[in-house]
Amino acid sequence: MGASNHRTWRIERARSIAAAAGLPGYEVLQYHRSYLPSRVDLPVELDPDGDVGWVGPDLASYLRAEPQLTLVAYSPLLKGAYARPERLGAEYDLPSTPARLAALHAVAAETGATVNQVVLAWLMGGDVPAIPLVGFSSVAQLEESLAAVDLELTPEQRASLDTAR
């Protein structure tokens, strides 16, 4: 069993134990999710075997099948890297990254929103909806992120973001 499948199995096991005991189970999961996919094979500070904090295919499909669970997505703005691409780390060095960044910028230009706002709207309105847990270091950054709540992507814009790879 891969490390990420093992993670889904442990969540399911904890929920089963809680249900059998008549206790509340997990209702909210906090994991790393953003628009750009991340490599999960690189060692990170807490996970020498690779990043198990990222919402990969296993967890995304689990959340899709269990809509009563709420996903809180931490570091959705990749610590400011959408606005400052020089901050993009090696974990985003994937073949799909240039196409996804191009789609993101195209939708931002079309909507008049910032790339950060498009990322947040994409996360909130996706088929695996997430509550973004954003960070900010100025009131302007906070206001920019909050305004993403009012940005509704059209089905065409969402499709262009989803299919870019």
Among 19, 83, 102, 149, binds ligand NAP (CB under 6 A): 83
Among 137, 139, 150, 155, binds ligand NAP (CB under 6 A): 137
Rounded Cα distance between 47 and 90, Å, is: 16
CB of 14 to ligand NAP, least distance (A): 17
Q: Which is nearer to ligand NAP, 19 or 26 (CB)?
A: 26
CB of 159 to ligand NAP, least distance (A): 25
Q: Does 38 bind ligand NAP (CB under 6 A)?
A: no
Give the list of residues 6+ apart from residue 73 with CB closer than 8 angstroms, or none.
30, 31, 32, 33, 34, 55, 123, 130, 131, 132, 133
Show the site string, 143-162: x = touches ligand NAP by CB under 6 A, - = not: -x------------------
For residue 151, with 0-12 CB atoms within 10 Å meaning exposed, 13-18 middle and 19 or more buried, which class applies? buried
Give the binding site for ligand NAP (CB under 6 A). Answer: 30, 53, 74-80, 83, 116, 133-137, 141, 144
